[in-house]
Amino acid sequence: MASLQMFDGWNRQYEHYCGGVLINRKWVLTAAHCTIGGKRKFLVVLGAHSLSRYESSKQIFHIKRQIPHPEFSRITGENDIQLLELENNAMINNDVDVLKLPGGMVDDLKPGTSCLVAGWGQTSKGFPSDTLQEVTIEVIDRKTCNSKDYYDHKPEVTQNMICAGDSEGRGDSCAGDSGGPLLCNGTYVGIVSFGKICADPKKPGVYTFVSKYLCWIWKTIAMQAYNMTNEKLY
């Protein structure tokens, strides 16, 4: 897990803003809406459990490059995915590890599939959590999620998205969880993208379907490595 932290000019400190996932020693995957626009300053913190306490496990990185998907839409939420290149390589140890991407295209998830979402977002008390939390939710079929009682196609939950929640409103992703991972059957399948009302059974969380973007992810990373090699040659 990665904590993407934004500099708060008023409090003169970095504060948790979004989640993310370390997919190799130099790259973090998160949601595009987390950093799009403006000249805000960000850090990535790895190995954290508590955001406020000192923990020797924490590794802190400046971001060298932010690469949102070129076709990301704030209006529809489509293509809400982004790569962050760290200034330095993360140290892999007992506290920090890589979460592997799916090996190939993951079949569409069956409704009712049990999944886990994690982050430091708002809890039932209405405040962000200082410690990393996780909750179990279930996949909801897109037809239901797009129905009049749910999102009513405003926005549309597309084939590039996963809809997941709890029919009794006991758990959900919430503000501050954006960019964090959705894992189903132990596989990293989704990125927290958007929702309307936290833990509302009729307004479940919507997640970017990671496997739909594997080509873009690996192509982007390879292109940056190629460019870096060429820069060194000159």
> Hunting for tokens 């403006």 — which residue is that?
38
CA separation (Å) from 77 to 35, 39, 115, 204, 228? 14, 21, 21, 14, 31
Burial of 39 (0-12, 13-18, 19+ CB in 10 A): exposed
Backbone angles phi and psi of 218, in degrees to 5: -70, -35
What is the Cα–Cα distance from 8 to 181, expressed in whole angstroms? 25
Whether 16 is catalytic? no
> Hunting for tokens 């192509």 — which residue is that?
219
Q: Which of 80, 166, 172, 177 is catalytic?
A: 80
* SS3 label, residue 145: helix
Whether 211 is catalytic? no
Q: Which of 129, 173, 178, 193 is catalytic?
A: 178
Burial of 212 (0-12, 13-18, 19+ CB in 10 A): middle
Whether 178 is catalytic? yes
Q: Which of 33, 69, 129, 172 is catalytic?
A: 33
Other CB atoms within 10 A of residue 111 CB: 15
List, by residue number, the catalytic residues.
33, 80, 178
